[in-house]
Copies of this chain bind each other. A is one copy, B any other.
Amino acid sequence: MDFIFILDLLGTISFAISGVLTATKKRLDIFGILIIATVTAVGGGTVRDVLIGKTPVTWMMDVRFLYIIAGSTFFAMIFSKALRYMRTSLFLFDTIGIGLYTVAGVKIGLAAQLHPVTCVILGTLSACFGGVIRDILCNEIPVIFRKEVYATACIVGAVIYILLHKANVSSELASILAASAVITIRLLAVRFNLQLPSPYRYSALGQGGNTP
């Protein structure tokens, strides 16, 4: 699984870097930045593991990812200027990361004999919840709840994986196709500025709220 490992590595690195970028905006100290980077990278998988009872959770059993996160964090703090010019590559890594994390979460759910709907949720959780915890710790409403097609891409990818799995497609091929679907949807959504249909336009919902 060398190919998978490299993608997993890239996903972890880019999630960690996205954590650093959020934490420095809030002017946290070095320790706070490190924590936020770690939580962003491992948070989704941790919540998934705790909910299905797979404890001690994954990162406790394989500390290599902690080293990678620490390395990425210090790299990001030192080369912060260069990172500004690398936004596109970061976004690509991040998108690859959510594609892979989605597939990993679905697989773990299927291995635990859980219902397909639960597996879709586990995949989406794995990919998205790190960012949710990051935003809660930084005292923000999670960005994913407001304007991202992020989670929708994960849900579609998870459904694709399960359909291919039911059709007896090999795990490797299903993984590649499902992760590619997540990545493609997210890239297209950002490229063409697609959003979920707003529930506020034609209804009386949330009239008391702020204008968007």
Contacts and interface: CB of A to CB of B under 8 A. Distances in A.
A128 to B, nearest CB: 9
A140 B137 contact: no
Interface stretch (A8-16, A92-100, A203-211): A203-211
Given A56-B114, A57-B51, A197 B25 contact: no
Contact of A114 (B30, B60, B117, B141): B60
A88 interface: no
Chain multiplicity (copies): 3
A196 B29 CA distance: 7
A112 B145 contact: no
Best-surrounded residue of A26, A140, A199, A210 (most CB of chain B within 10 A)? A199
A89 interface: no
Contacts of A25: 206, 208-209
Contacts of A30: 196-197, 199
A106 B81 CA distance: 38
The 6 closest A-B pairs by CB, nearest first: A53-B55, A32-B145, A24-B206, A80-B205, A28-B145, A81-B204
Interface of A: 23-33, 35-36, 46, 50-53, 55-57, 59-61, 63, 66, 77-78, 80-81, 84, 112, 114-115, 117-118, 121, 132, 136-142, 144-147, 151-152, 195-200, 203-206, 208-210, 212
30 contacts: A24-B199, A24-B200, A25-B206, A26-B206, A26-B209, A27-B200, A27-B209, A27-B210, A28-B146, A29-B145, A31-B144, A31-B145, A33-B199, A35-B145, A35-B151, A46-B51, A50-B51, A51-B55, A51-B56, A51-B57, A63-B117, A63-B118, A66-B117, A66-B121, A77-B205, A80-B204, A81-B204, A84-B204, A132-B137, A137-B141
